Amino acid sequence: MGILEKDAEKNKQIRRRSSKKNNNKYNKVIIGTASSFCILLAIYLGVSIYFSKHFYLGSKINCVNVSGKTVEEVDKQMAAEIKSYKLNLKERDGKSEQIKAEDIKLKYNSNDEFKKLKNKQGAYKWPLAIFSTNVSNMRAEVSYDKDLLEQKVNNLSCLDSKKVVEPKNPSFKYTDKGYEIESEVNGNKINKTSLYNNVVKAIANGETTVDLEVLNCYVKPKYTVKSKETTENKDMLNKYVSSKITYTFGDKQETIDGSKINNWLKVNDDFKVEVDEKKVKEYMNELAGTYDTIGKTRSFTTSSGSTIKVGGGDYGWCTNASKETQNLIAAIKEGKSVKKEPTYIQTAASHSSNDIGNTYVEVDMGRQHLWFYKNGSLVVQGDVVTGKVSDGHATPEGIYTLKYKERHATLKGQGYASPVDYWMPFNGGIGIHDATWRPVFGGSIYMSDGSHGCVNSPHYLAQTIYENIEEGTPIVCYY
């Protein structure tokens, strides 16, 4: 046998051995696979048999784990769970309150729901629980006495009005350097509707905790120190207190700056800066009370040289407090420095202690004599007749203002109508006028035959006064 034949025979033997070896390996794979399948099948069937009466692993009813339990066991477990159910209300500052099952007569509507869940799971679908919770979780319907729950919520300590701290927006504090922002107050006031709804939801889902903070049950301030509106308010307040308004009263003055203005500023309920008009008007009335002279008693040096006290009448300075209140508020809002006089309803000759000045009519009713001075010089003087004392028509004392002057007027009253050439009223229907029907003036005529209150004058005296006097001139009347 040649070499080639020997090699061929050797190769055949090698191939036979290799084929036999591969066949053995293939048979082993088949046998192994079949064995594994049988084992897995046995396990699957065994587990299926188990789950034919037990809940799938991971099964939950109202968040309660019921894995591997039978329906009967679940009935008992859930009965015990609901009986011991307690909802914890987690409040601020580490406080908490509870609502217990017995407080509201909590119970399950029907235990048949547990059985329905088990039937839904079946015996052979347990692998699906690995991929889906639809067949392993359920929410069992519960019932309770709604009136008892509402009563329980109403009686919670956190809703006690005596313990409630209202939330507050940021506030503003005035200092020598201007306004500073003070942080908002969170308080502990609760939105009762939100709390109640979250409690109902938690009970329905079997949850055991309601965190009032997390669930936004607390009423929050509308604005915080970081709010744009807070910064805007601070800037506006500082603008207002930067104002400086100086009122002048002759050689006297009153200055209003931030130290006073800050007391008139406030942030209203809408978180808007406003000037308290009532407080500004109170200040303006005080200012008027200090500097207004209308009706006040003054020292007056008479033509006879004596110094007397004369009060009453309507002459003097009178501030228009209402209008000036608005002017002052407008000046504050501009944030500027202003020097000005207040707005007056009526003015006088000067702001000195003698605001009568040196142009006036003086009527000494005790002496029944009149003097008229203009710019310090005596223009005219003469005897007069004033109101009839015996009939209660005495001419009133006081310092008055000439209201106007009129030529050829007719003075009318009860039982009389008297035409005059010169009419100069200063106190209602009382005035200075010529009285040509009188032959004499002065003396004590006024006591029994006086006027109805007017100052009856000789024609020349009334004419001279009329031709030289102006509206607003003070008329000083005294006894």
- What residues are labeled active site? 433, 454
User: Strands, E, within 1-153: which ranges?
Assistant: 60-61, 64-65, 86-90, 96-100, 107-108, 137-138, 142-143
Contact 326, 284 (CB under 8 A): no
The residue count for the chain: 479
Handedness of CA 435, 441, 442, 447 (dihedral sign): negative
| C-alpha–C-alpha distance, residues 99 and 149, integer Å | 8
- Reduced to 3 states, what is the DSSP secondary structure of residue 9? helix
User: Pseudo-torsion of CA 411, 412, 414, 415, nearest 10°?
Assistant: 90
- CA triple 195-201-207, angle to 5 deg: 105
| C-alpha–C-alpha distance, residues 288 and 320, integer Å | 9
CA 251 to chain centre: 42
Residue 244, phi then psi, degrees to nearest 5: -145, 110
Place of tokens 């007719």: 410
Measure Cα distances from 478 to 192, 313, 386, 420 in Å.
Answer: 75, 11, 11, 25
| C-alpha–C-alpha distance, residues 225 and 170, integer Å | 6
Name the pairing type of β-strands 86-90 and 209-211. Answer: parallel
- Reduced to 3 states, what is the DSSP secondary structure of residue 389? coil
| C-alpha–C-alpha distance, residues 71 and 136, integer Å | 13
425: tokens are 């009223």
Place of tokens 């968040």: 63
Strand order in the sheet with 64-65: 64-65, 60-61, 137-138
Contact 152, 104 (CB under 8 A): yes
- Closest listed residue to residue 71, CA positions, set 119, 33, 28, 37: 119
DSSP state at residue 314: S
- Reduced to 3 states, what is the DSSP secondary structure of residue 398? strand
| C-alpha–C-alpha distance, residues 336 and 318, integer Å | 26
- Closest listed residue to residue 324, CA positions, set 277, 257, 290, 262: 277
268: tokens are 């209203």
Place of tokens 């009860």: 414
